[in-house]
Structure 1
Amino acid sequence: MGAWNYGVFDDDTAYDALTDLKNSLDIIADMERYFDEVIQAEYIGYDEAHYALVSAAVIDSVINSFVYRCDEEDYFEWTSSQKCFDFSPLKQKAVTAIGAILSDNSELRELWEENEELYEAWKEDKLSMQKRLQQ
């Protein structure tokens, strides 16, 4: 696991997902695909979980103006530039995907559960995002 803390953007794979979203030619369709892959999976892989979580975080930043700690210097400018898109139809899929990632069928959750020190903080961080997206 290439994580250094419990936040969404505290993992190398999260930055791969962010780069792919920033380079997307159809961000809405790509996010929907990332959410659907997680929602429909019998077992959610590590990478798939990150792609869905980063997509949810971007939506949270755009819709709720939530500020995530992110090492990408242009993250805040980029998310601001995404306000022209209507992400609201994806909110429920994001909420469902987060729930799936927190379930027993998730590699990412299993790995975090092994971290006795940070697991609860990681889980609470994702539940907080989920709650904001439900509003």
Structure 2
Amino acid sequence: MGAWGTGYFEDDCALDFVDELEREGNPKETINYALDIPIDVEYLGVEEGCAIIVSATYIDRQINGTIFTPIGRNDTYSVDTFADRHPEVDLSDLREKAIQALHSVLCENSELNELWSENEDDYPLWRQGLEELIGRLNR
């Protein structure tokens, strides 16, 4: 059984994307590509949505200095060391693209949004977490 939780890293797809970022020689290029996906697709799949969320957390960490974990979450994975391990990677210019991509994850043409909306108990918490991440990136 796979991981599935409301936290940013409580999903197998999200953790797979983190692994991909760690293996890539150019993590900024990988993040930029993930954020461009909503431009080219009519329907945003789960894997792409998770990649967008993870990418946005990396950008948030770099811009705001700490990883944000919404109250009530149990995110056990942290991107706190990414900026220390990759000081040459500046993600700040991807802020606006991340905000737009996160809005795509929350729209009706998103498989993640569709799946979460079927869960009446957890959907508000999941959505609130993404809206709070957008708010942090808008600072």
> TM-score with structure 1 length normalisation?
0.89
- Unaligned runs of 5+ residues in structure 1 are none
Work out whether residues 4 and 10 of structure 2, in 8 Å CA contact, stay in contact via their aligned partners in 1: yes
Q: Deviations over 1:64-118 (max 9, x none)?
A: 123245434x742234323432211100110000000100100000000001101
**What residue is the counterpart of 1:16 in the other structure?**
16
SS of the residue aligned with 1:76? Answer: coil
One-letter code of the match for 1:130?
A: I
One-letter code of the match for 1:112?
A: W
- Unaligned runs of 5+ residues in structure 2 are none
CA root-mean-square deviation: 1.9
One-letter code of the match for 1:42?
A: E
Return the alpha-carbon distance in structure 2 between the equivalents of residues 58 and 31 of structure 1. 9
Return the alpha-carbon distance in structure 1 between the equivalents of residues 75 and 80 of structure 2. 9
**What residue is the counterpart of 1:115 in the other structure?**
119
CA-CA distance at 1:14 after TM superposition:
0.7
**The structure with more helix, counted as a fraction of residues:** 1
Return the alpha-carbon distance in structure 1 between the equivalents of residues 2 and 120 of structure 2. 17
**What residue is the counterpart of 1:127 in the other structure?**
131
